Amino acid sequence: MLVEQLSTSAARGDRLAVARDDRHRAQTSAAEAREVTHQGTLGAQRQSVARVLDVGPHDESSVNREGAGADVDVGVRRVRRRGGVTGLFTQFIPRNGRRQFHVQTVHSPCVTKFRNSAVEISDEVANALEKGRNVVALETTIVVHGLPSPVNLEVAEECESAVRESGSIPATIGVLEGRVVVGLNEVQLRTLADPERHAAKLSARDLGMALATRGDGATTVAGTISIANRVGIEVMATGGLGGVHRDVRDSFDESADLTALSRNQVLVVASGVKSILDIGATLERLDTLGVPVVGFRTNRFPGFYQAESGFSLDWSIADESEAALAFLAHRELSSTGFLVANPIDHKSELSVELHDRALSSALERARALGVSGKEVTPVLLAEFARYTAGASVAVNRELVVSNAGLAGRICAAIAKERA
């Protein structure tokens, strides 16, 4: 598979990379070569791309004609514009559904750099993706903004270990000096978590500005799954999903995690949503957005620090294989993500009494400080940790590591189904 420049003004392209089957390369005529040579003169590269539609090999009969220039086994999934931060890289999806990446790379001891891209993917993750192996994305907000030091880095290591033990490859995602890193190594993660660097909390909307200003940032669930979907990672693990806040009628405060889930075909394993939120409203919003919420061996929605929140679920899955089958079927029919709700063990949850007292104290603390938006959750979690004398941190630690392991096993099951 080779990458060429579009030569027609109809594509309205500016140095667009396109897929071309190398079996047809020998058929390129001298006239075509001259046309490419004179692109600049004819102004074929000076117009911006407004919209490029996906083209599949079976979408149009002409695509499959002999000499039509498209491989019947490969469809163009994305066409990227080279240069700047507007595109990550060209992505090809064969009929077996596995993504393959055909880009020039520059190898370093620990990182693969995609030229003309704002993304760096570790060699381990890049190799796994190229071979169609199972990779699990991990967020960094919990490390930088969610847990106290040194527990934060310990949990990050435990999550990666849990993914590996499940037979999958971890890909911890963050932004360092204006570059998205997919597969942060230990040194990079410590750098990002250093309080002196003041790493920002990056949702999906913040990524472009962080790259443009060469900033550092920890990715939220929304930021992480947006990047994961872009590079071909289908599964992500987190502690608790963001959601609709309790005072939404006055603040209109709703986490971008929900919207990102509705836009990206990524399976997310979480212990429900944080109990500081309006759980009922969050479930209604996910329903409206078309995101399935499925309990793992439960028909009750988890309450983060508690095994259940008091809300029932329509669907439950018995094991990882069933989760894989459900997700693959969902992908065929919907463009949204898929939420697997994995509750904390009843033996480890906070008692109802302690949880409710801590929640009241946390909400009062947030009101006293007058925080809003992305600053609310860190304040509430910190007050939970203070009020419970660290018990909430222990619960958070256990559930996020458990979710990482489950995500790894589901990811391995997805790969097995596709084999």
- What's the CATH code of the domain at 240? 3.40.1790.10
Torsion of CA 240, 242, 243, 244, to 10 degrees: 120
d(CA 394, CA 350): 10
**Distant-in-sequence, close-in-space partners of 122: CB < 8 Å, separation ≥ 6:** 110, 111, 112, 171, 181, 182, 183, 184, 185
d(CA 219, CA 201): 6
Place of tokens 């990550």: 88
Q: Is residue 110 part of a domain?
A: no
Burial class (CB in 10 A: 0-12, 13-18, 19+), 214: exposed
Q: What is the mean pLDDT of residues 107-134?
A: 75
**Where does the pLDDT of residue 96 fall: very low under 50, low under 70, confident under 90, or very high at 90 and above?**
very low
Last residue of a domain, one of 19, 42, 74: 74
Domain that residue 40 falls in: 2-74
Q: Is residue 402 part of a domain?
A: yes
One domain, residues 240 and 305 = yes
Angular region, 371: left φ>0, alpha ψ -120 to 50, beta rest: beta
One domain, residues 394 and 283 = yes
* Contact criterion met (CB below 8 Å) for 221 and 390: no
Last residue of a domain, one of 36, 53, 74: 74
d(CA 179, CA 185): 14
d(CA 85, CA 209): 10
One domain, residues 155 and 30 = no
Which has the closest alpha carbon to 234: 204, 260, 264, 263?
Answer: 264
One domain, residues 278 and 409 = yes
Last residue of a domain, one of 50, 74, 98: 74
Burial class (CB in 10 A: 0-12, 13-18, 19+), 370: exposed
Q: What is the mean pLDDT of residues 298-312?
A: 95
**Distant-in-sequence, close-in-space partners of 17: CB < 8 Å, separation ≥ 6:** 3, 4, 5, 79, 80, 81, 82, 90
Which has the closest alpha carbon to 190: 249, 223, 149?
Answer: 149
* Contact criterion met (CB below 8 Å) for 341 and 371: no
Q: What is the mean pLDDT of residues 167-192?
A: 97
Give a three-class secondary structure readout of 12-60.
CCCCEEEEECHHHHHHCCHHHHHHHHCHHHHCCCCCCCCCCCCECCCCC
Position with higher pLDDT, 418 vs 136:
136
> If residue 299 lies in a helix (H) or strand (E), which one and from where to where?
none
Active-site residue, 274 included: yes
d(CA 276, CA 419): 41
**Where does the pLDDT of residue 248 fall: very low under 50, low under 70, confident under 90, or very high at 90 and above?**
confident
One domain, residues 51 and 142 = no
Q: Catalytic residue, from 120, 139, 254, 398: name it.
A: 139
Q: Is residue 113 part of a domain?
A: no
Q: Is residue 389 part of a domain?
A: yes
Q: What is the mean pLDDT of residues 296-301?
A: 97
Average pLDDT, the chain: 79
Q: Is residue 58 part of a domain?
A: yes
Q: Give helix 151-165 / helix 186-193 axis angle, nearest 10°.
A: 150
Which has the closest alpha carbon to 198: 185, 216, 181, 184?
Answer: 216
Position with higher pLDDT, 252 vs 242:
242
Q: Catalytic residue, from 201, 254, 274, 308: name it.
A: 274
One domain, residues 53 and 175 = no
**Distant-in-sequence, close-in-space partners of 166: CB < 8 Å, separation ≥ 6:** 405, 406, 407, 408, 409, 411, 412
* Contact criterion met (CB below 8 Å) for 86 and 211: no
One domain, residues 57 and 135 = no
One domain, residues 70 and 144 = no
- Identify the pLDDT of residue 99: 38
Q: Is residue 397 part of a domain?
A: yes
Percent of the chain with pLDDT over 90: 61
One domain, residues 368 and 299 = yes
One domain, residues 281 and 357 = yes
- Identify the pLDDT of residue 14: 39
Q: Is residue 106 part of a domain?
A: no
* Contact criterion met (CB below 8 Å) for 411 and 134: yes
Q: Is residue 82 part of a domain?
A: no
User: What distances in angstroms separate CA 232 from CA 66, 301, 371, 393, one per listed residue?
Assistant: 30, 28, 36, 32
pLDDT at residue 34 above 50?
A: no
As for how many domains the chain has, the answer is: 2
What is the model's pTM? 0.73
Burial class (CB in 10 A: 0-12, 13-18, 19+), 105: middle
d(CA 298, CA 309): 12
One domain, residues 149 and 276 = yes
> Over the stretch 366-379, which tens digit does the pLDDT of each residue have?
888 888 777 777 88
One domain, residues 138 and 62 = no
120-141 CB burial, b ≥16 within 10 A, e <16 = bbbebbbebbeebbbbbbbbbb
